[in-house]
Structure 1
Amino acid sequence: MTPSGVARLLLVCHASTPATARAAFPGDEPLDGNGLRRAGAMAPLTLPGRAVRAAELRCAQTAEALGLPAEPEPLLADCDYGRWSGRTLAEVEAAEPEALATWLTDPAAAPHGGESIVALLGRVAGWLAGLEPGRTVAVTHAAVIRAAVVHTLGAPAQSFWRVDVAPLARVTLTGRGGRWRLSHPA
């Protein structure tokens, strides 16, 4: 049982998609065959408490495969990659090398016309601040999980790119009074 006033959050990254395999900026796409198989093979998540997910199809399919009746949460949406959505990193680098370099070094930049890393960090921090005590499992995106880890550690925004989150990775955070800790899953 979670002590009164403590929030325990299990963040689960969605399973792999065609964009994952292509190293592309994702759009709203389904899981690929490998992602569906791997998510279905994982033990169902049966934590007591609330289950939420990002609204994108890949998160809905992952939650379903994990046996989670998760409600959509708009603040868990993936980073908005603007005009880069659907394009591979190599394609963007070939077409817009300066813009990509700026985006990878300046977390306040959004040369793609979408959301900056600073804006993503703020959105995720706001969601964490509003999370009620108790247990929550959230199926979301690698970028959202990175942002949650950066926020939890109080790390500078530039450290966003130093956090790797693989498909189906799990990260546990515990929080109380607006202060979060990275925890070992129980």
Structure 2
Amino acid sequence: MTTTSLRLVAHAHTAAIRRAVFGGGDEPLDEGGNRAALALAPAGPDGRGLLGRVDACLSTPAVAGMQTAYALGLQPTPEPALADCDYGRWTGRTLDDVAAREPEAVRSWLTEPDAAPHGGESVSALLHRIGRWLDGQVDRGGRIGTVTHPMVIRAVLVRALRLPPPVFWQLDVAPLAVVRLTGRGSRWQLHLTAPAGTTG
């Protein structure tokens, strides 16, 4: 049976992400985000880096994802399926601004998976898109590094672990957080590992 190891990392900080802007991953990394990603790159030709050795690297086409991958010493291939959620008319606006002007719309988006008050992609639609992509990775085999958005990683976890959609909002994915999944057949397993040198 083919085994696929997915090593997902959330892209590093951008100025927009720090301000909680919808769709902030289309901006370049800020100085702090770039520095943090570079610090996690392999130290030499035999270094393992943040994701360890991978056979291929897929990335959201967004600038922040591609820059994070390069900073980590990877050679990314853009993958449209890993794009951030489509926030419709909220794109470029801060959460605080939208919540102040459209409190009911934000409330429905956060509590109803099928709601898309911004005219973009609902959580259910995002889960469906990522589910199709995830199904296509099961038979791929090998170790696949994946650089994408926190929202996408939330969706991957919900679909891979077959969690109910409301759990989506209970998952918090920080910039440069890493999630490791192993797929065999139609099942995915989550791996939580300690950093090298901390066990024993």
Taking the aligned partners of 2:189 and 2:152, their CA distance within structure 1 comes to 16
Runs of 5+ unmatched residues, structure 1: none
Runs of 5+ unmatched residues, structure 2: 43-48, 195-200
What is residue 32 of structure 1 aligned with on the other side? 30
Taking the aligned partners of 1:26 and 1:73, their CA distance within structure 2 comes to 17
Taking the aligned partners of 2:148 and 2:5, their CA distance within structure 1 comes to 16
> What is the CA deviation profile of residues 65-99 of structure 1, one whole-angstrom value per residue up to 9, with x for unaligned ones?
00100100110000011111111111001111110
Tell me the SS of whatever aligns to 1:172: strand
Q: Percent identity?
A: 55
Are 2:41 and 2:71, in contact at CA under 8 Å, matched by a contact in 1? no
Taking the aligned partners of 2:4 and 2:193, their CA distance within structure 1 comes to 13
The one-letter code of the counterpart of 2:70 is E
Does 1:145 find its partner at 2:153?
yes
Does 1:16 find its partner at 2:22?
no
Which TM-score applies when normalising by structure 2?
0.88
Q: Cα distance 1:56–1:118, how it changes in 2: closer, same or farther (>3 A)?
A: same
Task: Give the one of 49, 55, 58 matched to 1:52.
Answer: 58
| Matching of residues 100-115 of structure 1 within 5 Å | 100-115=106-121
> What is the CA deviation profile of residues 84-121 of structure 1, one whole-angstrom value per residue up to 9, with x for unaligned ones?
11111110011111100000000111100110111111
Does 1:119 find its partner at 2:125?
yes
Give how far 1:185 is off. Answer: 4.3
What is residue 169 of structure 2 aligned with on the other side? 161
> What is the CA deviation profile of residues 18-71 of structure 1, one whole-angstrom value per residue up to 9, with x for unaligned ones?
122111212421111110110011133451311110000000110010010010
Give how far 1:158 is off. Answer: 0.8
Taking the aligned partners of 2:57 and 2:141, their CA distance within structure 1 comes to 13
The one-letter code of the counterpart of 1:29 is E
The one-letter code of the counterpart of 1:142 is P
Total equivalences in the alignment: 183
Does 1:133 find its partner at 2:141?
yes
Q: Which runs of 4+ in 1 moved over 6 A?
A: none
